[in-house]
Amino acid sequence: MPLIVNLRHLEKQNLDYQGDILPQELELEGIDECIKPGEALKYTVEAQLLENSLYVHGVLEITVQCTCVRCLKTFAHKIQLPEWSLLLNRSGEDQMNVVNDCVDLTPYIREDIVLSFPQHPLCEKGCHGLPSSRIGGLNQSNGPDRNEQLQSAWAELDKLKLSK
């Protein structure tokens, strides 16, 4: 369910909100081919009115399914925004969209979650990539024999006798 804040309820006191937003409601599908939404986003936030502004702060957490860019394994990655905050004004550049005294915070949450996606997801810090394969006659592994084979490739080129 989207996170909707009723401004009239905030006129007397600050309110706490806690719940989940489904991945479909966040519209995260198709943003990055290596990252797919997993579980629902969990939020615990406090909302308050500050003169002509709405201030919301709290914790956002979501687990996404990533594909490692080196070895292509799928793994879970937790995105946590422990000090998330949002300030929306009633007028000006960051003007909030008010409908029937309510503001939907879901688009703002979505934007911050997308900005927190890993740029190059790795299943583990020292991932060496795909298992060895043979491309162009050379072993493409990260092991010690790769250097030996690269040297032997240059050695073969050194044997060429080119005349002018």
Tell me the pLDDT tens digit for each residue of 19-30: 999 988 988 888
SS3 track for 20-37: EECHHHHCCCCCECCEEE
Q: Return the pLDDT at 148.
A: 54
What does the domain layout of the chain look like in residue ranges? 4-115, 131-164
Q: Please report the pLDDT score of residue 147 as a whole number.
A: 53
42 has pLDDT over 90: yes
pLDDT at 139: 47
The residue type of 38 is G
